[in-house]
Every structure is written in C-alpha cells, then in structure tokens.
Structure 1
Amino acid sequence: MCGIVGIVGTSEVASRLVDALKRLEYRGYDSAGVATLEGGVLTRRRAEGKLRNLEALLHKSPLAGTIGIGHTRWATHGAPTVDNAHPHASGGVAVVHNGIIENYLALREEAVARGLHPVTETDTEVAALLVAAELADGLSPQEAVGRVLPRLRGAFALVFLFDGHDELLIGARRGSPLAVGHGSGEMFLGSDAIALSPFTDRITYLDEGDWVVVTRTGAQVYDRDNRPVTRAESRSTVGAVMIDKGNYRHYMAKEIHEQPEVIGHTLSRYLDLGAKKAKLPDGAAIDFSKLTRLVISACGTAFYAGLIGKYWFERYARLPVEIDIASEFRYRELPVSEGELALFISQSGETADTLASLRYCRQHGLTIGAVVNVPESTIAREADVVFPTIAGPEIGVASTKAFTCQLAVLASLAILAGRQRGHLSDAQEAELVGALAEAPGRAVQALKLEAQIERLAPSLARAKDLLYLGRSTNYPLALEGALKLKELSYIHAEGYAAGELKHGPIALIEENIPVIVIAPHDSIYEKTVSNMQEVAARGGRILLVTDDKGGEASGLGHKDRIVLPEMPEILSPIVYAIPIQLIAYHTAVFMGTDVDQPRNLAKSVTVE
C-alpha cells in the first residue's frame, strides 16, 4: 500500500526522500509528496501520478530543509488528486499515513465543531487536525500525539512533522508496519527496510501499538500504554543494490527469469540432497506427527499457493487441511483447537487480513507457522515457527518468484510431514526429494519457451474473455493464471476446475474464445482431454499447456500448444507456473499496460 519515509538529517533531504520513495514504488501508488522544514516552517510539494511528476515539480520549485517526510499514496478515501495527496497539513503539523482510520467521520465532525476546517476527502487529515488542536491548547508535540493516538481506530502507520521542530519526527504503528533506521548523526523512519536501505542497515521494528519519538541522536519508543520501552535493533539483510531491473525491460521480467536461481536457494534450506531427505530450515521446529489438522490462510496468489499445498499435505502426509482466504477466515469464526498448526503465507509478511487471521489463531492457542519472504516482517516476528522463502525482493506487483518459492517450501514441508506421520517410506521420500531437486533445471527449460509464448500474445490480447482450466494441483494454477492475466492486461479471465465445465462455465464458450488448459500427462489427463473436446466442439480456441506425451495424446489437432518436458507430478505446479506467468506478461506488454505497477493494485496490502 502507501509508502512512508522520514529523515532527520544533516543535509538537505528532499531528493533523498524521493530516492527512498522510489524503492517503495513496488507497493503501488497514484500520487506522491514530500514536506520539509524551510527555516523552521512546513513546506510541501505534491503531485498526482508517478514519482517523476513529483521530481519535475521539485526541479521547478526545490525544497530546502534537513528534516522531512515523504509519501506515495494508494487511494482509499478520496480520489487521487493533488489536494488528497500526502503529506497533509494543518496548524503547523504535517502527517503521512499508511492504512485506514475507521472512525475518521466522527473525528472530522469533532474537528469541525472545534473550529477546524478539513480541506481534503481523506481519512488521514483528521490526524493532523486533531494533533494541531492539541498543540493550540498548549501541549507539546509529544503530548499532543500521545493524546490523539488512542482515539484513532483502524490500522495505520503515521509519521508527524512539526513547525519549528527541526530535529523531531514522531511515528506510530498500529496494524501497518513502521521501522526506525539508525544512522550516524541521522535517523530515519520508513515503511520497510527496503526504503531505508540506501541510508542504513541498522533497523528497529516497532511492535504493534508502539509509537516513537525520533531526533537526530536517537529514538525513544513507547508502547500502547505510553510506557517507555526498548525494542531490539537488528541488521537488515536488504541491500540497495538488489533493487535493480538489470538488462530487463520490467522488474516482472527479471523476477520471472530469476526463478531457477531462487527456487534452488529456497530448496537448499529444505532438502538434504545427500541423504535424500526433507528437512526443516535452521531455527525451525515442528512435529507434524502430533498435528490433527493444518489450517492455512493467505490472500491472492499466496492463497493459490496454499491451495496447491493442501493437495500435497493431504496426499503425501494424510494431514487434513482447512484453507480459506484470510479476509473470510477471520470473520467466519472457524472452530480451532490446540492440536493444530495455523500456517500463514505472505510475500511481504505485512498483509493486513492475513495478520489479523494469525492473531485470531494466536488467541485460540494454535501454534503459528509463517511462510514469508521478508524475515523481518510482522508476520514472521509474530509466528512461532518461520518457513522462509529465499526469493529476494520482489518489486513487480504481480507475484512471480515469490509464488514458486512458496510452492517449493510447501512441497518440501508436505514431504517432511509425510515422513514424520509415517505415510511415506524412505524410498518414497527419496523419490519425491529427487523430483523437487530437478525444479531449478526444469524452470530453465520452461523459460526457453518464452519466444513461442510471446508470439501468442497478439491473438490473446484481442480477446475480451479467457478461461483457464485445470484439475488437481493444476486447478489452483488455473485460478492463478486467470488472476495474473486480469492483474496485468485487464482482460477478463476466469479459472475453473476442468470437471466443473459442464456445471455452468460451458455456457461461456463461443467461437474463438481462448481456453487455456493446464494439463500435464498425469493420472487424470484423460479426464481433462474430455473437457477439451467439449470446448472444441463449441468453437473454443484451446491453448494446451502440457508435455510431449500430453500433446501426442490430446487428439484434438489444434496448433496452439506450449510443450514442457515430462516431469514428476509433484514438480509440475512449480514449473508450469512459469509459462502461465509469461502468457500474462507478454499479453500485457503487447497491450502496453503498466506491467510492474498495474492500475489500482498495491504490492503489500496493509489495509482490509
């Protein structure tokens, strides 16, 4: 969602704020702004659209000042206009905000009754209005913020800047992440370590409900009860050099091509190839044999990874799995018990609904596991056991390498669970581990199909609707393929279990509608062929993603095939994800959409 940066520096900060915001572009945004103190007085520059618009504005009208705050906004309340762009200011207070203040309408009415005058459509502005009112009543900045924060309901991260205080920033975190960066004679605040990586690798993460007073010489953290507390400082492993497109046109293209390497890095944490055994990563401890059920929750692409994981855990470990989208899980009051493991999957480790679901399970006494790509994230810190993915920073909003690394982790854990629960013999485990070890090499082979897939893009781009079909673990992959195409190209697409075609979706089949069928030649391939014949009989255009044996056995005579090497069944969702990603990517590139930052989307969804 929104990106936040604050600097208490020793030199002018406007350009540094913009540079830091560029590292948060992957979150998605529709406007941006910065505020500094020039001669002790608040001054702002804000612009709609991309950061280059803000840069152009600052070039025409520079900002001085050695302290400042910056923001990229993803609109929740009010249109993406200059007036609604952050920072918001009132009465000598400027604020940037990530999240939603749920009771802002009541607070706005109160502010109006006190003679204050809102000028935006946003929820954020009430925080500046109320703090300004407390300052007008004679309170210090710290006292004013301390009085206002308990009155705000919702999930938010806030950073305040004050007229006349050129060495003071105050930040707060409830639900949305906020980190403190420690420099040499300088201090920083940011939404995550990536934003602060050009300045420092010394990071303090605020706990839930914390707020912090930052000066040039240090930071004092207070808990939700306003008691001074000490939070640990850690060394971030995120490096500024890592955020680079290299020779690729888009971050997404780079991240797709990084998959052989990062899948290999991830599997190295979970497989002992010498012993042909699955293992837990260092620092993780869980005994699957003692579990009665596995509860999985996630959002978006991570949910589809969990859905594939459900097939694996139930098939190889005979472990019952309950899975739900996090935004539904937290409200349907799922009965849970202490003999279960709750597993949460998130690339960022900050997804609001997933985090809320985690806390629901925590309250009910479950052991908490987390499959995350950011080891310093809130979900990782609140979990009992962390299963890291080693995907590296993923900048493209549409997840690619994080997804396949999540699958690598889940497949490895399912094998481990199968052994611990006595449902896999040593020979079966060795066979499955050997199969997973082939993943990086098979991913390289899948990437060699890119030129062929790119040639298909123009015809797919002409479609108004597409269908994706798959069975077993390829059904969630069909859902993921449809999501990717919608995210990137804005073409309407739906994914279905192939066996459900006759139960309604077949009504959508008409002449030349593209139907992408994900069907390696496995134990249920013949069932999928019958569904393809139903599509062909009604004039649908089939694009079959299969292997050599599947292509020969289809009997449909169609020309559009994407043929991968034959591979073990456990491996196919990981490898087949790559052509599915490339279909969406090249279709979107042909159509000229913003591949890395699709409209209306954000990388890290830190509000409900």
Structure 2
Amino acid sequence: MCGIVGYIGKREIKRQLIEGLRELEYRGYDSAGIAVMQNGKIQSFKAVGKLSNLDEKTKNFETEGPGVGIGHTRWATHGKPTELNAHPHMGEYSYVVHNGIIENYREIKAMLEADGVTFLSQTDTEVIVHLFEKEIERHSDLFSAFKATIDQLDGAYAVLLITQKAPDTIFFARKGSPMIIGRNRQGEVFFASSDAPLIGEAEEVAYMEDGTIGYATPDLIHSEPDALQFVSLSGDKLTAQKGGYRFFMEKEIYEQYQVMGDTMIGRVLDDDIVFEELGKTFLEGISRIKLCACGTSYHAALTSSYLFERQAKMPVNVEIASEFRYKEPLLTSDTLFIVISQSGETADTLEALKMAKKAGLKTLAICNVDNSSIVRLADATILTRAGIEKGVASTKAFATQVMVLWMLSIFFAKKRATLDNHTVKEELRFMSYVPKVLQKALDVHEKCKRLSKRYLHGHGFFFIGRDIFFPLALEGALKLKEISYLHAEGYPAGEMKHGPIALADAELFTIALMPKTLLYEKTKSNVEELSARDSTILSISPEMFELADDFILTHPHKHPMLEFFEMMVVEQLLAMEISIRLGNDVDMPRNLAKSVTVE
C-alpha cells in the first residue's frame, strides 16, 4: 500500500525524500510526490507512475540549508491514479500526505464546500488539509488546530502535514496505519511508514501507537497522549522490508488482519455495503455470473460461488481460465463476467476477459494491481488493496479476494432484495470481525511449528472439507505443494469414499477442516471413514475430535466465513513451517513465478 516519508534537517531535502520513497517501492504504488519547505516557502512536485518520473520532474530542483519535507507513494483508493490525485495535497498555505482511508470524507467535504472551499482532487485525503486551515481560524495555536482536525476524522490514517505558518515543523498523527519517527545525533528527524527508509539514517526510532499525535521541529519532538519511546535501529534494508520476519510469506501472513481492514474501509458500513466502483445501473440486465481465474484466484472464485448462489440467488459458473479459452463457451448477454487476478497480468485470465468483451458481456475485475492489463480492459474494477505481495505463494492476496467476493455477494443480494435488512446487517457485523479473527488465528503459530516435524514424509496429503471449506481445502493443498514440494490434494470430504479412500493408510496424512457452523456431523462422518482405514488425521476445528492423531483448535465462531478465515491462516502457517523444516526457500519456490504472463 501507500508509503510515507518525512525529513527535517540540513541535507539536500529532495534527495532525502525521493531516496526514502525508493525504499518503499516494494509496497506498490501508482504515483508519487514530494513537498519541500524552506524559508517559509513550499514547492511541490508530483508524477504518475514510477519514481523515475518524479526524478525527471525534479531534476532542476535542489535545496541548500535547513528545511522540512514530506513525500508519498500513492496506491489509488479514492480517485484514479492522476497527478491531481497524487499526494501531497495542498490548501492555501499547507500540504499533507496520508496513508489509509478517511471514512467520513464525504460529510467533511460537503461541509467545507458549503463554506466556500474548492477541491482539486477526487481523494479523501484532501479534506485533511482544508479542514486544518479552517480550524486555524478557530484556534489560538497550530497544534490545537491540528488536533481538532484529527479529532474529526473517522477511519485509518498516518498523516504528515506542513504549513507555511510553522516553517520548521512537521505535524504527525497515526491511527490504524503504521508510522515510525527516527532521529540522529546531527539533529535530523525522519518519518516513514516502515523501517527501510530509516536504515543508515536514523540512529533510534519510535514506533507510534494508535492515537499518537504530535509535532516535530529541529529542536523538539512532542507527542500525545504519551511520550514516544525510542529504541536503537539496526539491521539491513532487506531485513527492514521483512519487518523482522524470517520470510516475506511469514510477514504477509501476519499482515492479513491489517490489509483486511484496508479492503473493508469505506466499503463495509454499519448498515450498507458501498462500492463506488460500481454505478447504480451496473447490475441491470444481469441474472447470472461467470467467474474466471487461475490457481489461488480460482479457489477464491470457487468459494464465492457458494456465497453468490446462497445469498444473491444468482446462478454461478466457475471457470479455470486456461480451460475456458478453448472450450467454445456459451456466453449470454445476461451474464456478468468476473475475472480474478492478483497481478492483473495473468495471461490466461486476460485472454478469457478479451473473449468476454468480444462477446459483449459486462465485465468486472477483482485485482490487486491498479493500472494492470486486466484492470484497464475490464468495464469495472474492485481493487483488493492487499499491498504488494512478495512471497510467490499467495496469502494476503487470496484473503482479500475472498473478502471482496463475500462483500460483493451481499452487495448483489441487497440490490436484488434476496436478503432482508436484518440479515444484511448481521452479515456486515460478522464481516467487521474478520480482521480480529485473522489476528487471533496467529495464536496457533507455535503449535503449527511443533506439529510440522511430524509431517515431512509419507506418500501424500489429503485436505478435505465441505461447502466453502472444499475450496479452502484446495487452497491448503496448493500452498503445501507450492512451497514444500510434497504431494497434496484438496478433496470434497463426501467424495473420499468414491475412490480416493483406497489410498488411506498410516502414511497418508489427512488435514480435515471441521467447522462447527457448517456440516460438522457430515464432515466428522467422512473423517471417521478415513480413520477406520488407518489414515493419519490432523483435525482443524473448534471442537476436539477423539479419533484425530493431531489437532489444531480454532476459536468458536457463529458464522462459517469467520471459521473459513481462521482455518485459512492455519493452513498457511502449517505449509510454511513444513517447508521451512525441509530447508526450502519459502518465498521463491522452484519452478514458479509470481505473475504468470505466459500460457
């Protein structure tokens, strides 16, 4: 997701900011910008695309002597990736950069426009700087005005703000989006959204807690409600990007609860689902859905097929893109064609999308990369906001795809009046629990680590589940295959007796997904059949299963999707720990690529 840097000091400010942003490129972005203040004057530069474009824009600009600066790499959430929508955003005499989403920006914007303020961008961020300048008229000092501004924001944010009224100051605030402040013995102050830009620059750093607000000058760092706790900073830049985790995959598993919040912000409200990306008439003439994807994205599509039919009462077909291209499919004009891709460049999925467009179907892309080929081609796009994913085996991209599709099924159900308002509100309430569920699911990591040594040999794995837990079984098997190189299959639990149970013996490992909210007794019966044939059983369930050789206890939940997301994390952790114990490169498994751009 977006990246933030800030600098107070005497070095060449532009270079400090751009090099800092370069260390955040791994997070993903579609535009970038900086604002530099010296002697009370601010100059700002913005560019769409890579930082090289910002370099070109600023090639004739240099600073000398003390000053302050802020910079930002943007990943579009509100408004397209354009220079006007790029950060920093300006008021009459102030500039701001912001990570996160301001949920109540529409109300603030309407209030400010009624008060005569003119907006230049389509973003939620711009309200911050205009609101601040309005609050200055009502407060005796700038920090009070800044606090009053932040108090009015709902949502998630990491904010840096500079103003000509305080030429040596950067104001900062953090809630729900990471922000780090660093300093050194030369009196320089640094801000960043991860450690990487600070390595080799700051000697000590403070990791801001939620609710932190303050300001920094060359002589003072003031924070409320508590003083910042600085610690020594050490390590190299790659380690900093990994955030102290052993592998990017591990880091990305642990990030899932945070990015899930980004996926939901501004979309999942108390009593409604909002997709600004879809116009009011988007579903007109649509009575069926065809989903098309590859690999992990196909498993997300398969999961959603249960949700669309169950909640929106729409018939759904799920297609593997590489097969769809050559089967001479029947495409009817009442079909919404949904493609799902992490990178937006998946060759088979892109070609399938072209076929649907040629046939005149309305198309929708679920994707993590803005301005990718699939995004540019589709009629509409919903971005998953997972941020860049470096591990080849997908984790947080899959999680956010499933969440977007769940949200979309409720959005469609509401439009089609197939769920009553009470049920919709209940679904939204359970959705709001997902980030916390993903966070709590990490509690089993140590158990997965200990269990992994028992699952290094044998002649294979069966991951089994029913209903939405069947696609999750497919995904668990794929994760294990990708990074451990052990043979694994996902299978519908009820189908084991129709052939595969012939393989059952003590060297066949069965990973049984046994949710209490959905078909527990049926699944239990299927697992008992395998146990009777001496298969080694690992039960993943909130209830102990007496025939299981091993078990991983999950938390009790009242909605199947909450169990789904918790079991997803368990599968990811187990696959990773088995792979680590086998000595494999978890992030770069053999024979695989992150973005598959060939047939």
TM-score, structure 2 as length reference: 0.61
Contact 1:486 1:493 in 2 (8 A): yes
Per the TM alignment, residue 481 of structure 1 is displaced from its structure 2 partner at its CA by 0.5
Matches within 5 A, 1:202-281: 244-273=241-270, 276-281=271-276
How far apart in 1 are the matches of 2:281 and 2:564? 25
State the 1:445 CA deviation. Answer: 1.1
Question: Helix, strand or coil: the match of 1:496?
Answer: strand
The 5 Å alignment of 1:304-315 reads: 304-315=299-310
Structure 1: any 5+ residue segments left out of the alignment? 1-19, 27-177, 188-197, 206-234
Which of 568, 572, 583 aligns to 1:581? It is 572
Measured against aligned partners, the alpha-carbon deviations of 1:292-313 in whole angstroms (never above 9, x if no partner) come to 2111101100000000010000
Q: Distance in 1 between matches of 2:401 and 2:483?
A: 21
Change (3 A) 1:508 1:403: same
Shift of 1:23: 7.7
Distance 2:558 2:429 in 1: 11
Find the counterpart in structure 1 of residue 435 from structure 2: 440
Match of 1:38 in 2: none
Equivalent AA in structure 1 for residue 447 of structure 2: Q
SS state of the match for residue 511, structure 2?
A: strand
SS of the residue 2:454 aligns to = helix
Alpha carbons of structure 1 residues 284 and 380: separation in structure 2 relative to 1, 3 Å: farther
Q: Which residue of 1 aligns with 2:53?
A: 182
Partner of 1:606: 597
What percent of counterpart residues are identical?
39
Which residue of structure 2 aligns with residue 452 of structure 1? Answer: 447
SS of equivalent to 2:439: helix
Look up the match of 1:391. Answer: 386
Contact 1:518-1:546 within 8 A present in 2 as well:
yes
Q: Is the 8 A contact 2:26 2:388 kept in 1?
A: no
Q: Distance in 2 between matches of 1:432 and 1:200?
A: 34
Of the candidates 309, 320, 325, which is equivalent to residue 325 of structure 1?
320
Matched, 1:567 2:555: no
Q: Helix, strand or coil: the match of 2:554? A: strand
Q: Are positions 1:408 and 2:279 aligned together? A: no
SS of 2:455's partner is helix
Distance 1:573 1:185 in 2: 47
How far residue 25 of structure 1 moved from its aligned partner, in angstroms, is 13
User: Is structure 2 residue 485 aligned with structure 1 residue 490?
Assistant: yes
Quote the residue 1:504 is aligned against.
Answer: 499
Compute the displacement of 1:331 (Å).
1.2
Mapped partners of 1:371, 1:323: distance in 2: 14
Alignment partners' CA distance in 2, 1:200 and 1:546: 42
Q: Is the 8 A contact 1:284 1:385 kept in 2?
A: no
1:468 maps to 463
Does the CA-based 8 Å contact 1:304-1:476 persist in structure 2? Answer: yes
Distance apart, 1:21 and its partner CA: 13
- Give the Cα–Cα distance (whole angstroms) in 2 for the partners of residues 291 and 199 of structure 1: 40
Secondary structure at the aligned position of 1:468 is classed as strand
Judging changes above 3 Å, is the alpha-carbon distance between structure 1 residues 497 and 557 closer, same or farther for their aligned structure 2 residues?
closer
Bigger relative CO (Cα 8 Å, ≥ 6 apart): 1
Change over 3 Å in CA distance of 1:186–1:416 after alignment to 2: closer
Structure-1 separation of matches of 2:325 and 2:50 = 26
Kept in 2, the 8 Å contact 1:259–1:443? The answer is yes
Q: Residue 481 of structure 1 aligns to a residue in which SS?
A: helix
Q: Give me the whole-angstrom Cα distance separating, in 2, the residues matched to 1:590 and 1:603.
A: 23
Name the stretch that deviates more: 578-587 or 556-565: 556-565
Aligned CA RMSD, in angstroms, stands at: 3.4
In the TM superposition, what is the alpha-carbon distance from 1:564 to its structure 2 partner? 2.8
User: What per-residue deviation string (whole Å, max 9, x for no partner) do you get for residues 124-173 of structure 1?
Assistant: xxxxxxxxxxxxxxxxxxxxxxxxxxxxxxxxxxxxxxxxxxxxxxxxxx
Question: Cα distance 1:353–1:502, how it changes in 2: closer, same or farther (>3 A)?
Answer: same
Contact 2:508 2:535 in 1 (8 A): yes
Query: Equivalent of 1:359, from 354, 358, 368?
Result: 354
| Correspondence 1:369 to 2:364 | yes
Contact 1:463–1:491 (Cα < 8 Å) also in 2? no
Equivalences for residues 276-291 of structure 1 within 5 A: 276-282=271-277, 287-288=282-283, 290-291=285-286
Q: 1:318 to 1:594 in 2, by over 3 A?
A: same
Q: Is the 8 A contact 1:408 1:574 kept in 2?
A: no
Deviations 1:350-399 (A, max 9, x none): 10110000000000001110101111211111111111101100000000
Return the letter of the residue paired with 1:569: P
Q: Is the 8 A contact 2:518 2:560 kept in 1?
A: no
1:371-430 deviations in Å (ceiling 9; x for gaps): 011112111111111111011000000000000000110000001111111210000101
Q: 2:374 corresponds to which letter in structure 1?
A: I
* Number of equivalenced pairs: 396
> Could you tell me how far apart the structure 2 residues matched to 1:202 and 1:264 are?
15
Say if 1:432 and 1:570, in contact at 8 Å, map to a contact too: no
SS class of match (1:461): coil
Describe the superposition over 1:453-509 as per-residue Cα deviations: whole angstroms up to 9, x where unpaired.
111111111233111000000000000000000000000001100010011110111
Q: TM-score, normalised by structure 1?
A: 0.60
SS class of match (2:453) = helix
| Counterpart contact for 1:182–1:200, Cα < 8 Å | no
Aligned to 1:166: none
Cα distance 1:251–1:180, how it changes in 2: closer, same or farther (>3 A)?
closer
In 2, the alpha carbon distance for the partners of 1:481 and 1:597 equals 18
Once the two structures are superposed, residues 61-103 of structure 1 have per-residue CA deviations (whole angstroms, 9 ceiling, x without a partner) of xxxxxxxxxxxxxxxxxxxxxxxxxxxxxxxxxxxxxxxxxxx
Is the Cα contact below 8 Å between 1:289 and 1:417 reproduced in 2? no
Distance 2:73 2:415 in 1: 43
Aligned-partner residue type, residue 581 of structure 2: F
SS state of the match for residue 553, structure 2? strand
Residue number among 565, 571, 586 corresponding to 1:595 in the alignment: 586
